[in-house]
Amino acid sequence: VHGIVRRSSSFNTGRIEHLYKNPQAHIEGNMKLHYGDLTDSTCLVKIINEVKPSEIYNLGAQSHVKISFDLAEYTADVDGVGTLRLLDAIKTCGLINSVKFYQASTSELFGKVQEIPQKETTPFYPRSPYGAAKLYAYWIVVNFREAYNLFAVNGILFNHESPRRGANFVTRKISRSVAKIHLGQLDCFSLGNLDAKRDWGHARDYVEAMWLMLQTDEPEDFVIATGEVHSVREFVEKSFKHIGKTIVWEGKNENEVGRCKETGKIHVTINHKYYRPTEVDFLQGDCTKARQKLNWKPRVTFDELVREMVDADVELMRNNPNA
């Protein structure tokens, strides 16, 4: 497996340390990393020409929806044009007929949802620079598939989480904060829209779906989701429940707080800075096509996902309170 890593002054391979042949010395075995960037077409051509891969998974993106409002141009460059650069590199290297290409599409394409639940034929209505950039990527993949007969697919994946989720994503922010509260390292943390509802699955299940899409005879786009919807509020409640605390909500709007029923302490507050200029209130996927054609279904339940993330962060914070 070959991967592209962005150059940084500090090691930024924390989430794949275990894949090194020798993690202590960062010695590579079956995983080989190349310095590169989705904003640099020259390096993409060079790497693809050298590696001559049979499958390419484009999982690279500025993937934080809220931050995409602040880094709008960069998000467009990486998430939109970056996908085009990869596809063009495949063409330049003469690999159109031998490579299979997976594009990490997103439920954020549906944004202001036009039907419930959302499936492959639901009209798109992105509500962020991230969603708009990913919309360009989606259509350029379709274009290369139809124009050059490239085996290229879009996986329209709904939110997928795990203990490796980035620390500034809401699910991981909750599991990290709850772990710190459990260990007495923190009293309180702030969130944005508690009533945003998402279809949350486990990354482990969703990555299997990505792979399955490239094992089919014909390239097709698929929605990958659980079909279940939960609010941010519910994620908070279940996370606290796992460490033996019951959260009771008091107040309204930005004055709302989450208080621990057992101790009376306030553990959750609302901060308006975490709200988005345009909100996506509700996402629910319909993965009927993936169930039928890929024989895929999610295995990890919402409750199991929450427990796994909280347990992993309790362990992490116990060993390193500054993590």
List, for residues 184-228, the tens digit of each pLDDT value: 999 999 999 999 999 999 999 999 999 999 999 999 999 999 999
**Is residue 50 annotated as a catalytic residue, yes or no?**
no
Q: Which two tokens stand for residue 236?
A: 């908070």
pLDDT bracket for residue 169 (50, 70, 90)? very high
Share of the chain above pLDDT 90, in %: 90
Mean pLDDT: which of 165-169, 280-284, 299-303 is highest?
299-303
Catalytic choice (57, 102, 130, 138): 130
Residue the block writes with tokens 């203990």: 163
**Between residues 248 and 13, the one the model is more confident about:** 248
**Is residue 130 annotated as a catalytic residue, yes or no?**
yes
Mean residue pLDDT of the chain comes to 96
User: Which DSSP letter does residue 164 get?
Assistant: T
Q: Which two tokens stand for residue 159?
A: 């939110």
pLDDT bracket for residue 253 (50, 70, 90)? confident
Q: Where are the domains of the chain?
A: 1-35
DSSP string, 37-71: -TT-HHHHHHHHHHH--SEEEE--S---HHHHHHS
**Is residue 55 annotated as a catalytic residue, yes or no?**
no
User: Which DSSP letter does residue 272 get?
Assistant: G
Catalytic choice (57, 75, 108, 171): 108
Cβ pair 204, 137 in contact under 8 A: no
pLDDT given for residue 111 in this prediction: 96
pLDDT given for residue 204 in this prediction: 97
Q: What length does the chain have? A: 323
pLDDT given for residue 216 in this prediction: 97
The tens digit of pLDDT for each residue in 103-151 reads 999 999 999 999 999 999 999 999 999 999 999 999 999 999 999 999 9
Pick the closest to residue 195 from 168, 229, 227 (CA basis).
Answer: 229
Taking the C-alpha atoms of 229, 232, 237 and 241 in order, what is their torsion angle to the nearest 10 degrees?
Answer: 80
Q: Which two tokens stand for residue 122?
A: 């639901």
pLDDT bracket for residue 62 (50, 70, 90)? very high
Ramachandran region, residue 190 (left: φ > 0; alpha: ψ -120 to 50; beta: rest): beta
Number of H helices and E strands in the chain, helices first, is 10, 14
Cβ pair 13, 44 in contact under 8 A: no
C-alpha to C-alpha distance for 155 and 135, rounded to whole angstroms: 12
Q: What is the H or E stretch that residue 319 is in?
A: helix 302-319
Residue 171, pLDDT above cutoff 90:
yes
pLDDT given for residue 45 in this prediction: 98
C-alpha to C-alpha distance for 17 and 299, rounded to whole angstroms: 26
User: Which DSSP letter does residue 124 get?
Assistant: P
**Residue 13 dihedral angles phi and psi, to the nearest 5°:** -110, 25
Task: State mean pLDDT over 302-321.
Answer: 97
Catalytic choice (75, 83, 106, 226): 106
pLDDT given for residue 27 in this prediction: 87
Residue 161, pLDDT above cutoff 90:
yes
